[in-house]
Amino acid sequence: MKAIKITAALFLVLCLFSMCKKDSKNGSNTPNQTYYVKGTLNGEALNWQVPADQSTYVVGSSSSLSNNQGDISGGITALVSASAGFQPQLGVEFKTFNKGPNDDATTVFNNFVNTGSWAFASTLDYTVGTKSIVIYYTDNSGNQYSSIGSQSGSSFNVLTVTPVTGSAYNIDPGLKIKLTFNCKLYPVSGTGSAITITNTEATVFLDNLLLD
């Protein structure tokens, strides 16, 4: 199996790069939006609703993909962020994608994200032939957390996966993914206490960045 190592500094890059694929159109600002994150973060209610005009929260994606003569592998992260400054932000990374030089990017992408239980990644490495997820969180002050660490008693489940070719939220092809999870989040800096995110339900958009 091929492994690619990535450092914790990646998440800062993800935050800065996150919305390069976002395209917004006008839409209604109503409760219970298509894309959202709701749950309990460190004992406090979390409820981010993304309106179609993305005036308060936005959806987008970022990636850490290597391209070796058409052999593309790595992770793609679905992001939900505050529209002002992209903080706070929640990211769900799916890995490890692998598209060969002669593979169809849409087929590989759509077939990778399946419904059911997913394992939390124990490292930031990308190992072709494995499937795992990483949760990232940036708070209002820019403090960064990830799920890399002990996840005893945690869970992550993909409930539905729907291909989307264009919408009011994003004109790019991708997947609308409904998921639930509970996990611990550890400071990326290595300093400070872990926090918990529980009873979390979200619907996120994952851009097909294998097409780039």
3-state SS of 77-143 is EEEEEECCCCCCEEEEEEEEEEECCCCCHHHHHHHHCCCEECCECCCCCEECCCCEEEEEEECCCCC
Q: Which of 90, 63, 89, 88 is nearest to 77 (CA)?
A: 63
Tokens representing 196 are 């918990």
Whether the CB-CB separation of 145 and 157 falls below 8 Å is answered with no
Query: In terms of C-beta density within 10 A (0-12 exposed, 13-18 middle, 19 or more buried), how is residue 15 classed?
Result: buried
The predicted pLDDT at position 209 comes to 95
Q: Could you tell me which residues come within 8 angstroms of residue 135 by beta carbon, excluding any fewer than 6 positions away?
A: 90, 91, 92, 93, 120, 146, 147, 156, 181, 183, 185, 197
The predicted pLDDT at position 21 comes to 37
Q: Is the dihedral of CA 48, 115, 147, 95 positive or negative?
A: negative
Helix (H) or strand (E) holding 11: helix 10-17
Residue pLDDT tens, the chain, 212 long: 433 333 333 343 344 333 333 333 333 333 368 999 999 999 999 999 999 888 999 999 999 999 998 899 999 999 999 999 999 999 999 999 999 999 999 999 999 999 999 999 999 999 999 999 999 999 999 999 999 999 999 999 999 999 998 766 766 899 999 999 999 999 999 999 999 999 999 999 999 999 86
Q: What angle (nearest 5°) sits at the alpha carbon of residue 52, between those of residues 176 and 20?
A: 70
- Cα gap 113→166, rounded to integer Å: 19
The predicted pLDDT at position 148 comes to 98
- Cα gap 79→137, rounded to integer Å: 10
Q: Where are the domains of the chain?
A: 3-211
The predicted pLDDT at position 32 comes to 62
